[in-house]
Structure 1
């Protein structure tokens, strides 16, 4: 079975991590996977560093349609059985040539396709419509949560028989970095500084919770940085909030060594890998009820959940987590969560599930002959 994964190549967050981790696992399993990026950016760089077979197309324009002929020839001449796309641009290009290739075409929906371009005005509406049309043409769809699957069925009207839920996974470490003793109550938020991640909610909740010992470490960059820093200054939170900017994973892991709680206050998420990463580092987690949150945090014994968009709910959960910290039971919650997640949401589980979908697609193709 010969598989080609295609991505625009400009991802620099969860999408990049998802693709690279999956292809690294495929390499470890000796599966014949190749990555093709439509630009020589962060994804191709990370793939090469990981020793993944990587090809890159580069055009002067991101939407230069002359790439379609090159793409069709690359797929057909390469003898690929499955083409698997990630992201709206890759989806659009495959939708335009899918009848001209012999491979089956699958798409992973990493995020809400109706919200991906909502801040881009009229152009965003056009891209949203094109992406949704592209999804309807694919042979199969992999949704990273059941909530996304239901949305694809009811809001975009995709054929439910084409959609499978495949939860994200990570490569859990055998020996996490040791925790470092520290004063206070350290919480970490790893997310791009964009509206959908709810950073303003988190800052407001910290002010409402009024926990003097709390110190928030914000990891990430983005267009809201100046606005968030202004809010911190105006509300006299400078001593409780530190902006770290973009950090590499090794730096984030070091930050987790002194962290008591990882927090995600997004308005929308798929199945957030940052929460899996925090749990892998033995850090307790708090998330708004995004994606299939109940699968990641099944009960309060495994972590903390807050209502989406509610400052009061987030503040209440911060106070609850702090109380567990004072009682010195927060580490046991983190360890329980890590054991649960590493058993159920490893990258190996994810890879095996995807391989089953590939096989079903090819068997279905043979049955049609």
Structure 2
């Protein structure tokens, strides 16, 4: 079975990690998986570093439909059995050529397709409709949460038999591979996410203000359109000395920051199955999330982490206070419980096996 994964190539967050991790595991298991990006960018670069067979189509712009003929030739001449797209632009390109290719077509839905282009006006509305159209055309759709699957069935009206829930995974390290924690004078929170409205960092800043504890410090790791607005909000709330905006950090930089982190936070309005929280857990950092996606699958109870209500500043502040005031040994026990649970349930190997089983069924239908 020969499989081609396709992405626009400009992804620089959880989607990138998802694709590269999955194809890295496939390479380890000698699977015939390859990657094509529409443009040169972070995805192709990361994949090459990981030793993944990687090609770049060379689209000249985001909307270069002249490259569609080249894409058809690449797929058919490569004799792929499965083409698997990630992201709205890759989905759109395949929707325009799927009748001309000799392969089954799968899509992974990494996020709520009705929110992906929120706040982008008419262009955003058009791309939302085009992406939904593509989802309906594909032979199979992987949803990374049950909530997304239900959304696709009930709102998008995709045949439920085409939809498969497969949770994201990461590569977990053994405990002795994790560097020792640095001693630090503050209770450090970290938020690793794109700095966009959907990620809810303004909620986190307002919750930090409500916590009203100078001993608590917040580190925001990510870039995006809301960065200057958030810096202004921190100043307006008079908590700027407690907040550090790091911008985008690579994995080594993040792992170093985790060594002096007491709680990883994600206060999004919508999420799928956030890899950043799995990565924090792998670093033995306890996690706090709003009740997004299927987060209860990741944090099943109070012994495994902290869950706050979506969009609720008081609830977020309450959970932060709970962690801050908790005995250090108990907080560490929660971190260990969570890692044992996640590494047993959400490995990349499990993820790959689940996806492959769907591929095989698809090819005999």
Compute the TM-score of the two structures, normalised by the length of structure 1: 0.97
Q: CA deviation at 1:328?
A: 3.2
> Which of 43-52 and 267-276 deviates more?
43-52
Contact preservation (8 Å) 1:84, 1:106: yes
Instruction: Give the match for residue 187 of structure 2.
Output: 185
**After superposition, what is the alpha-carbon deviation per residue over 1:21-59, rounded to whole angstroms, capped at 9, x for unaligned?**
111111111101110000001111111111110010113
Q: CA deviation at 1:184?
A: 2.1
The CA distance in 1 between the partners of 2:96 and 2:48, in whole Å, is: 28
Instruction: Give the match for residue 65 of structure 2.
Output: 65
Contact preservation (8 Å) 1:211, 1:319: no
The CA distance in 2 between the partners of 1:316 and 1:258, in whole Å, is: 22
Instruction: Give the match for residue 317 of structure 1.
Output: 319
**After superposition, what is the alpha-carbon deviation per residue over 1:236-262, rounded to whole angstroms, capped at 9, x for unaligned?**
212211111111011000100111100
Give SS of 2:84's match: strand
Contact preservation (8 Å) 2:206, 2:237: no
> Which of 61-70 and 303-312 deviates more?
61-70
Instruction: Give the match for residue 217 of structure 1.
Output: 219
Which of these residues, 191, 205, 208, is aligned with residue 206 of structure 1? 208
Instruction: Give the match for residue 229 of structure 2.
Output: 227
Q: CA deviation at 1:126?
A: 0.5
**Number of aligned residues:** 363
**After superposition, what is the alpha-carbon deviation per residue over 1:122-172, rounded to whole angstroms, capped at 9, x for unaligned?**
011010001101110100000000000000001111110000000000000
Q: CA deviation at 1:93?
A: 1.1
Q: CA deviation at 1:91?
A: 0.7
The CA distance in 1 between the partners of 2:328 and 2:74, in whole Å, is: 60
The CA distance in 2 between the partners of 1:79 and 1:116, in whole Å, is: 32
Unmatched 5+ stretches in structure 1: 365-369
Q: CA deviation at 1:231?
A: 1.4
Q: CA deviation at 1:181?
A: 2.3
Instruction: Give the match for residue 277 of structure 1.
Output: 279
Instruction: Give the match for residue 286 of structure 1.
Output: 288
Q: Structure 1 residue 108 and structure 2 residue 100: aligned?
A: no
Contact preservation (8 Å) 1:218, 1:242: yes
Aligned-CA RMSD value: 0.9
Instruction: Give the match for residue 307 of structure 1.
Output: 309
Unmatched 5+ stretches in structure 2: none
**After superposition, what is the alpha-carbon deviation per residue over 1:195-242, rounded to whole angstroms, capped at 9, x for unaligned?**
000011000001111122101111011111111111112222122111
> What is the correspondence of 1:226-265 to structure 2 with a 5 Å cutoff?
226-265=228-267
> Which of 95-104 and 272-281 deviates more?
95-104
Instruction: Give the match for residue 97 of structure 1.
Output: 97
Give SS of 1:329's match: helix
Instruction: Give the match for residue 21 of structure 2.
Output: 21
Contact preservation (8 Å) 2:39, 2:60: no
Runs of 4+ in 1 over 6 A off after TM superposition: none
Instruction: Give the match for residue 155 of structure 2.
Output: 155
Q: CA deviation at 1:327?
A: 4.9
Compute the TM-score of the two structures, normalised by the length of structure 2: 0.98
Instruction: Give the match for residue 345 of structure 2.
Output: 344
**After superposition, what is the alpha-carbon deviation per residue over 1:48-100, rounded to whole angstroms, capped at 9, x for unaligned?**
11111001011323222221111111111111000000011111111111111
